[in-house]
Amino acid sequence: MDEKLSLKGIDTVALDEDKNCVVIIDQTLLPGDIRLKSVDDAGDMYDAIKRLEVRGAPAIGVFAAFGMYVLSKQMENKDYDAFISAFREKADFLNSSRPTAVNLSWALKRMKRVAEEDSSLPVPEIVSRLRTEALSIRDEDIEICRGIGEHGLSLLKPGAVLMTHCNAGSLATIRYGTATAPIYLGQEKGYNFRVYCDETRPLLQGARLTAFELSQYGVDTTVLCDNMSASLMAGGSVDAVLVGCDRVAVNGDAANKIGTSLLALAAKHYGVPFYVCAPSSTVDFETAEGKDIPIEMRDPDEVTEMWYSKRMAPKGVKVYNPAFDVTDHSLITGIITEEGVAYPPYTDSLKALLQK
């Protein structure tokens, strides 16, 4: 059963062990309606990811880990062969929900590794180990985001004017966010940042989510349309751009919400530092370049109808609606991870940094 609540003081994704379910903030309802939603079925978990009820690469990873624990708990009375067969099937099913965010497959691989590592154990013991792994993934996310925040804050001066795109905030992680982590830590230290949030067409995650959560936490926040960002930079009003990402290739190319690459091009032209905030889990050492990153194509209705009382494009016209674009590494000033800041050439610096 859903219930109303305040955004402050709750985790974006949580495990309810008494009811054996995953509890999420349904982000499709924000900012008008803040509700918790309980999920305990594989089909509903798939839909929650696909429909963006839970979104943001780190949050999706934690959600998948908690989801696989909840599903495994439902199957702990099976023998191992039946259990592992069903476990793999459900993990593969969840993995198919969104192809771009590498945290999804990363978390599922970790859970699958635990389930497969010792078939001689009683299934309830394997389930207990899956619980431990899922909680570790959650705890790591919190610490990683705080680490990103600390390294990012070292690059910023009090009173800085910042710009961000989409939502890489606390709603995209468990706490702190990635691109917003330096902002929240700065808020705690009295830095008094001013933040411009691109509305982020077509799903408006910047306007609906980032502006909402920042303003709730007292940050001086302004929303602007995506095509206004270059105009603002041209006037010298932006000190730095901070964005998140769903996957980083070995060469530093970064996939993030559609429109990020245009923001990076404008920042490069006007000499504004452009930083990608990336948990180490989003760095995919199996992907050499951005062109190898699969890009999810979304429903045309998101562009033509979703936010309008009447359809805003002629019926029958085609719609191009990719969820992400790839920002070339040459446009990125630095990649901020929990281990430190990587600078070009990223092929060397990312590997050296993450080998710590």
Per-residue pLDDT of the chain (356 residues; tens, 9 = 90+): 345 566 777 899 999 999 999 999 999 999 989 999 999 999 999 999 999 999 988 899 999 999 999 999 999 999 999 999 999 999 999 999 987 778 899 999 999 999 999 999 999 999 999 999 999 999 999 999 999 999 999 999 999 999 999 999 999 999 899 999 999 999 999 999 999 999 999 999 999 999 999 998 899 999 999 999 999 999 999 999 999 999 999 999 999 999 999 999 999 999 999 999 999 988 999 999 999 999 999 999 999 999 899 999 999 999 999 999 999 999 999 999 999 999 999 999 999 998 87
pLDDT value at residue 1: 38
Distance CA 90, CA 108 (A): 10
Q: Where are the beta strands (DSSP E) in 20-114?
A: 21-25, 35-39
The values of phi and psi at residue 40, to 5°, are: -140, 10
Query: Would strands 13-16 and 21-25 be described as parallel, antiparallel, or unpaired?
Result: antiparallel
Residues with active-site annotation:
246
Q: Which CATH fold would you assign to the domain 3-145?
A: Four Helix Bundle (Hemerythrin (Met), subunit A) (1.20.120)
pLDDT value at residue 57: 86
End-to-end CA distance of the chain: 44
C-beta separation of 181 from 214 below 8 A: no
Taking the whole predicted model, whether its pTM rises above 0.85 is answered as yes
pLDDT value at residue 354: 87
149-354, which class in CATH?
alpha beta
Domain ranges for the chain: 3-145, 149-354
pLDDT value at residue 22: 98
3-state secondary structure of 327: strand
Distance CA 329, CA 327 (A): 6
pLDDT value at residue 25: 95
Q: Where are the beta strands (DSSP E) in the chain?
A: 3-4, 13-16, 21-25, 35-39, 161-164, 194-198, 220-224, 240-243, 247-248, 254-257, 274-277, 324-327, 334-337, 340-342
